[in-house]
């Protein structure tokens, strides 16, 4: 299945390109939450972060770093959210690895909330042991 991002990267659909290199293609989100909202997508059509190789994942964050600095300079937001989602349960809406560089302003109406759970240090250490690298 070809995603809308693949079509944008290949030039089959129009975009407002911000940045590109061998690993990523960054462009303005057509659904601007706030002015300066940029998507950074991998050139290869990985579905999730877990599918990508380390070079692509690192390139995405390097590009996001550079773009966030440019967005800060150009739009002077009160903050910036960098968001990367995986699979529908994780709020991913396009099955192509990407992240959002989203300028934020006080009282801009954007919400990012979840129920906070505090399982205690013993449980946290148990969780850590399961994924320790």
65 catalytic residue (yes or no): no
**SS3 for the chain, per residue?**
CCCHHHHHHCCCCCCCEEEECCCEEEEECCCCCCCCCEEEEECCCCCCHHHCCHHHHHHHHHHHHHHHHHHHHHHCCCEEEEECCCCHHHCCCCCCCEEEEEEECCCCCCCCCCCCCCCCHHHHHHHHHHHCC
Which residue among the candidates 23, 65, 98, 100 is catalytic per the annotation?
A: 98
Catalytic residues: 98
């Amino acid at each position: 299945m070809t995603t809308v991002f693949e079509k944008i990267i290949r030039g089959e659909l129009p975009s407002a390109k911000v940045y590109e290199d061998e690993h990523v293609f960054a462009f303005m989100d057509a659904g601007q939450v706030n002015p300066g909202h940029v998507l950074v997508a991998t050139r290869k059509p990985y579905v999730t972060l877990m599918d990508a190789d380390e070079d692509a994942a690192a390139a995405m964050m390097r590009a996001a770093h550079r773009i966030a600095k440019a967005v800060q300079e150009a739009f002077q937001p009160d903050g910036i959210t960098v968001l990367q989602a995986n699979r529908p349960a994780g709020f991913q809406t396009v099955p192509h690895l990407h992240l959002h560089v989203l300028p934020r302003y006080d009282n801009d109406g954007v919400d990012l909330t979840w129920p906070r759970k505090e399982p205690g240090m013993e449980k946290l250490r148990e969780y850590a042991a399961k994924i320790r690298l």
